[in-house]
Amino acid sequence: MEQKELTLELKGLTKRYGDKTVLNDLHVMFHPGVYGILGPNGAGKSTMMGLLTDTVRRTDGEILFQGEETLKLGRQFRARLGYMPQQQGMYDQFTARRFLFYTAGLKGLDKKTARRQIEEYLNMVGLADAASKKLGGYSGGMRQRIMFVAALLGDPDILILDEPTAGLDPEERIRIRNYISEISENRIVLLATHVVADIECIAEQVLLIREGKLLQMAPPHVLLAQMEDRIFERICRPEELHGLMQAYPNGNISQRKEGVVYRVVGDDCPDGFIPSAAQPNLEDVYLYYLKGDRQTRSIQE
């Protein structure tokens, strides 16, 4: 009998705290693949993760796994779920290996399976030789890699990663992104972040969330196509920058052989700017939809 494809569906998912609506009537269907959930701080990304993991109580709506309500599935659903939270909850006096065995025990893995998976994933993230050291002596990047391994224990069908590269240097960010790409086959991977580079290369679909609302959900190439004819730039003297930054406060400055370039994105070309010949990127998409007002959207680092 052919195995049914994994599905995770959000139907009218809503979360309110008093009069404040943090997540507003989300309707999304997920299939296997990497989904980048992109939005500024406070957009509702972490709330969405909390609702999916049942650590936050929803106000309204449904979450369906394979067509069944996750609240009714209970532990049966949670056993199929791997979660890497934004905050690192670790015991600094534990060695990395002891912490992973502890996590495996919480997930109900037998010792043989736990040992096999722990060693496999420690080798994958390059920490097998450091696994006998206490977590208190680990760098931020090493701790994030251990949290990533902890989320993978039990071989979950759904992997939820909440800001997995927050606070990491560029080398560690790239490393974590590569691991995500490596393990994403036949899984639903939800990667919530406000760091555009984290999803630019690995996400098959991008969700743009602002103030709790889903603005767009599309493959990266579709979102990039929407930015054509919306990017404008101006070569300027250094002394002009202050005035431009006041007029377009989210501008992006770059250096070229022609001089300093100030670049903005929006529906209309500002006075003194010309259409840019540069290819759009997801940073353009991010700032067009998620920053500033609808009339003028600017690019920032």
Residue-wise pLDDT for 158-211, tens only, equals: 999 988 887 788 888 888 888 898 888 899 999 998 888 888 889 999 999 999
Q: What is the pLDDT of residue 232?
A: 93
Instruction: Give yes or no for a contact between 60 and 12, defined as CB atoms under 8 angstroms apart.
Output: yes
Q: Are residues 26 and 61 in the same domain?
A: yes
What does the alpha-carbon distance between residue 51 and residue 209 come to, in Å, rounded to a whole number? 15
Q: What percent of the chain has pLDDT above 90?
A: 63
Q: Are residues 138 and 243 in the same domain?
A: no
Q: What is the pLDDT of residue 250?
A: 64
Closest CA to 106 of 85, 75, 136, 132: 75
The arithmetic mean of pLDDT across residues 18-31, rounded, is 96
Count of beta carbons in the 10 Å neighbourhood of residue 20: 8
Q: What is the pLDDT of residue 17?
A: 94
Q: Are residues 193 and 127 in the same domain?
A: no
Alpha carbon 29 to its chain centroid, in Å, reads: 17
Q: Which two tokens stand for residue 13?
A: 């998912």
Q: Are residues 72 and 199 in the same domain?
A: yes
Q: Which domain holds residue 195?
A: 1-80+156-173+180-218
Q: Are residues 75 and 188 in the same domain?
A: yes
Span 108-155, pLDDT tens digits: 999 999 999 999 999 999 999 999 999 999 998 899 999 999 999 999
Dihedral, CA atoms, 155, 37, 283, 248, nearest 10 degrees? Answer: -150
Q: Are residues 1 and 74 in the same domain?
A: yes
Question: What is the total count of domains within the chain?
Answer: 3
Q: Are residues 50 and 66 in the same domain?
A: yes
Closest CA to 153 of 190, 99, 200: 99
CA distances from 96 to 88, 173, 175, 180, 240 (A): 13, 20, 19, 20, 53
Q: Are residues 37 and 160 in the same domain?
A: yes
Closest CA to 100 of 77, 76, 123: 123
Q: Are residues 294 and 249 in the same domain?
A: yes
Q: Are residues 10 and 50 in the same domain?
A: yes
Residue 268 has pLDDT above 70, yes or no: yes
pLDDT band per the 50, 70, 90 thresholds, residue 27: very high
Q: Which two tokens stand for residue 18?
A: 């008093």
Residue 294 has pLDDT above 70, yes or no: no
Span 82-107, pLDDT tens digits: 999 876 678 899 999 999 999 999 99
Q: What is the pLDDT of residue 283?
A: 87
Q: What is the pLDDT of residue 34?
A: 95
